[in-house]
Amino acid sequence: MGRLTVNLCGVELDNPIIPASGTFGYGYEFAELYDINLLGSFSFKGTTKEPRFGNPTPRIAECPMGMINAVGLQNPGVDKVISDELPKMRQHFHKKVMANVSGFSVEDYAYTCERLNGEEDIGWFEVNVSCPNVHGGGMSFGTLPEAAAEVTAAVRKVTDKPLLIKLSPNVTDIVSIAKACEAAGADGISLINTLLGMRIDLKTKKPVIANKMGGFSGSAIFPVAVRMVYQVAGAVNIPVVGMGGVSSAEDVIEMMLAGATAVEVGAANLIDPFACKTIIEELPRVMDRYGIQNLNDIIGGAHHG
C-alpha cells in the first residue's frame, strides 16, 4: 500500500480522488487529455431508469466562486448506459467505477441498481436521494430520514455491492438522515450535493436559468461541505465520501481531517479538466509540508484535536 492508498467500503483505491458525477461524463472525453487510470475512481453521470433530455435551456448561471446548474439529470437511460456507455468507458478506465443512480420513485432506484448490478467494473453504487419523490408530493427523498431510508433499503435488497447514499445539504438536520440511511443498510455516505441557488439577470429582470433555481456548486460552498462531513462522520460508523467545492490538494486534506475517507471533485473539473490530475500530483508535496506520512493517519483527525 502506498501513502495515498485508501480503502472505501472494502475496495482499495490508489488515492482518494474521485471526479464527481455529472462533471466527468463516462471518462472517455477526459481520457483524450490524460491517463485517467491515475484517478482513485470516478462517479459516472447520474443514471435513471428511462432516458432524460433534461431541463430547458439556459441551464447554467455563473456566480462568484461557483456556478448554478439545472441540467435535469440528462442521460440516455440505464439500458443505453449498459449497452453503449460502459463498453466505451472500459476502453479507457480499468479500475472499479462508481455508478451514480437517480430516480423519481423507490421502484425506479431499485430497478436501475438491479440492472447495473451485473456490471463487474461497478465497484460501488452512489444513490442520489436529492431527486423529487413523484409519489410523495414532489419533496426530495433526501429531506426526510424515513424517505431516504426507504430508498436505501430497497436498493440494499437488489445488490451486494457497496452502497453509498448521496445526501442533499438543503435540510435542517443532515445527521438524522445519514443515520437513518446507515440503519437501513448503507455502507457509506456521500455528501454534499449542491446547495439550492438562483441568479437574476438585471437587464431582463428575470431568472438567468429557465428552471429559475438550480444547484449551486464551486469553491464557495466548501466550508458548508466541510461542516456537514464533520458532523456526519462523527455520527455514523460507516465511511464518508466528502465533496463540495474541492479544488486543491489542501482541500482534500481538510476534507479528510473532517472525516472523509475519499474525496470527490466536481465543479473544478468544469473549470480545469486537469484539476484531478493536478490534485493527485500535488498531494505528496502537501502531505510533506504538514508532516503527514500516510493519508489513513488523518481520516477524522479533526475529531480528536
DSSP string, 234-278: TT-SS-EEE-SS--SHHHHHHHHHHTEEEEEE-THHHH-TTHHHH
Which amino acid is located at 282 in the chain?
A: E
Look at phi and psi of residue 215 and say left if phi exceeds 0, alpha if psi is from -120 to 50, else beta. beta
Q: Which residues of 172-202 are buried (b: 16+ CB within 10 A; e: fewer)?
A: eebeebbbbbbebebbbbbbbbbbebbbeee
Cα dihedral 252, 255, 260, 265, rounded to 10, equals -50
> What are the cell numbers at 11?
475496495
- Is there a catalytic annotation at residue 131? yes
Helix (H), strand (E) at residue 100: strand 97-101
Orientation angle between helical segments 106-116 and 145-156, nearest 10 degrees? 30
Give the integer Cα–Cα distance in Å for 108 and 52. Answer: 13
Name the active-site residue from 113, 131, 181, 276. Answer: 131
Which residues participate in catalysis according to the annotation? 131
